[in-house]
Structure 1
């Protein structure tokens, strides 16, 4: 059975980074794009690999993490559909400081650096959008450091749960959310052990703030949850 060929120009034009580009600019990028399908648990690249471009996710979910000599890992970022990653390392042309692994079956596009650099030189608006994306990522990392340094374990978990609020509804009262990945990955992302995360979920449930059923979480009272452990 033959796989359907991707319409790369259409995919690129729907991504926030590229959606303002003219058709001829999209066409110039197409030869540099390579489709990459990744199975759950499959490595995309390892720490120390040299970048030759960056990635955008068509569908799926990718984990970026630091490995350790003890076999543990620290999840730095979880990247989802229509998001990109790897731009900063592409600019620096240095070995990757993290590894990338598929959390679910995923489809990505690898975009080679050459045409991207040419586009950056010819299109100031595109350059500003890419710079804005990198700046937002840096701001997010600074917020992470603040969270790990100044907030308790429970406050980190509460903040994470409230961030999962459905985009099509108000984050007030009672609502349901679905955790986007495993509790082990979430614990690492929040700089917690899985045991600590489970204990906090249990404490929140005992206090009548949430209900837990696998990956399904019911926020019973968003206002009370925000005030927990302040």
Structure 2
């Protein structure tokens, strides 16, 4: 029987007695174990020693993830036990402005939801030209398609500002789908809307003038009120938005200037004011308006559709 005899106070030494037999003689071995003092802030690193403050922090973090999930539109209709189960498969991700989240060709075993901040999805050519595919803001998600298809990511992602995201593992999503058919339909609806948006983009690039694309984008930002005055801010830099609309930054700035001169908008840095939404909307549908007519031919430096 191994016996703990005690510790030498101040010397950080533990004395252990181990009995054994040698040549039919009963013997005891005394083992002196010298311990290095463990700093209190590193206690949690040692096996078998788990300070209560770390446990509390872990529980608090898990509760925070559960609350964040419950407040996201995609998960709001899930039962509490399903949210808790999903939270166990979720981790928080924080990115600084300009930080890359994943690269083109990476594999994802889950998808991301933006809690705060803004994420750019884009791809670049061998010559360094960048095409922004999407800008994802709070409550928006990305990565679902490649998660389901188990295909490499076709784009890279980068934080346009300091961002807070949730990464939800595939197994958690599959469990939620198995338990809740309504959740499966919401996932399917989200992917369908994404596909519809991409088809709309192809139509815009192929059939609409650069001016029409810019006006359509501004009307979307204004949430398309039926009439009256509205003010809003551009969600990203003009360079990013231009790439999203398949324009050069110069073309985008020139169109904003033309619309401003026509009295359709007022531009102050990233702040856009539309005095009359109805007038701007009619301008969007007026192909014979001189400004629109002139914009039908590719402007200097404008990218061709899908280039």
TM (norm. structure 2) is 0.71
Aligned counterpart in structure 2 of residue 95 of structure 1, from 152, 156, 163? 152
Post-superposition offset of 1:87: 0.5
Q: How does 1:104-115 map to 2 (within 5 A)?
A: 104-115=161-172
Distance between the aligned counterparts of 1:144 and 1:44, measured in 2? 25
Q: Which residue of 2 aligns with 1:117?
A: 174
Contact 2:233 2:270 in 1 (8 A): yes
SS at match of 2:74: coil
Q: How does 1:6-155 map to 2 (within 5 A)?
A: 7-155=64-212
Cα RMSD after superposing both structures: 1.7
Post-superposition offset of 1:178: 0.7
Distance between the aligned counterparts of 1:24 and 1:118, measured in 2? 12
Distance between the aligned counterparts of 1:55 and 1:8, measured in 2? 13
Aligned residues: 227
Q: Which residue of 2 aligns with 1:198?
A: 253
Distance between the aligned counterparts of 1:123 and 1:223, measured in 2? 43
Post-superposition offset of 1:171: 4.5
Residues 164-207 of structure 1, C-alpha deviations (whole Å, 9 max, x = no match)? 1158xx34232211111100010001000001001101111111
Distance between the aligned counterparts of 1:101 and 1:25, measured in 2? 31
Distance between the aligned counterparts of 1:175 and 1:126, measured in 2? 35
Q: Which has the higher contact order (CA 8 A, sep 6+)?
A: 1
Distance between the aligned counterparts of 2:76 and 2:253, measured in 1? 41
SS at match of 1:74: strand
TM (norm. structure 1) is 0.94
Contact 2:101 2:159 in 1 (8 A): yes
Contact 2:266 2:272 in 1 (8 A): yes
Which structure has the larger Rg?
A: 2
Post-superposition offset of 1:118: 2.0
Contact 1:166 1:177 in 2 (8 A): no
Post-superposition offset of 1:224: 2.1
Residues 142-176 of structure 1, C-alpha deviations (whole Å, 9 max, x = no match)? 11111111110000000111111158xx3423221
Q: Which runs of 4+ in 1 moved over 4 A?
A: none
Q: Which residue of 1 aligns with 2:282?
A: 227
Q: Give the stretch that moved more between structures: 97-106 or 115-124.
A: 115-124
Structure 2: which 5+ residue stretches go unaligned? 1-53, 288-307
